Structure 1
């Protein structure tokens, strides 16, 4: 008689699970965005080299926002 190992199902609350990386946000010139700190704006430039960043015009000023874009969302 051979013993078979019990199949264990993964628990959703286990601290040993690896979490998938959230999808990267991509912005293009002309996109309307909102930023938690600066408000509404429009993307005027995109940098892909090195640390990717976007240049956003928020009306009263322009701001360079670098990845990860946790506080910025596309409208």
Structure 2
């Protein structure tokens, strides 16, 4: 059994698996914005709580969504 080196992971420049820590600015939502969610479909923003979550009406259901959410886009 080989012992692994105690150093950290090796970083290869230009690797597609390297991800930046900050993915850039997040979308900002306002009450009344139309949104699209990957699972729930089209909806409308009803309420925003201190920028960390929003409540959206998707027609058949009303959902509270934590921000930032990669599945939610502003239309």
Q: Do they fold alike, i.e. is TM over 0.5?
A: yes
Which blocks of at least 5 consecutive residues in structure 2 are unaligned?
A: 1-12
Larger radius of gyration: 1
The Cα of 1:14 is off from its aligned counterpart by 8.1
TM-score by length of 1: 0.70
Q: Give the aligned length.
A: 63
Please say if 1:60 is aligned against 2:60: yes
- Judged with a 3 Å threshold, the aligned counterparts in structure 2 of structure 1 residues 58 and 12 are, in CA distance, closer, same or farther, namely same
TM-score by length of 2: 0.70
| Aligned Cα root-mean-square deviation (Å) | 2.2
Which blocks of at least 5 consecutive residues in structure 1 are unaligned?
A: 1-10
Map of 1:10-49 to 2, 5 A cutoff?
Answer: 11-13=13-15, 19-22=20-23, 23-48=25-50
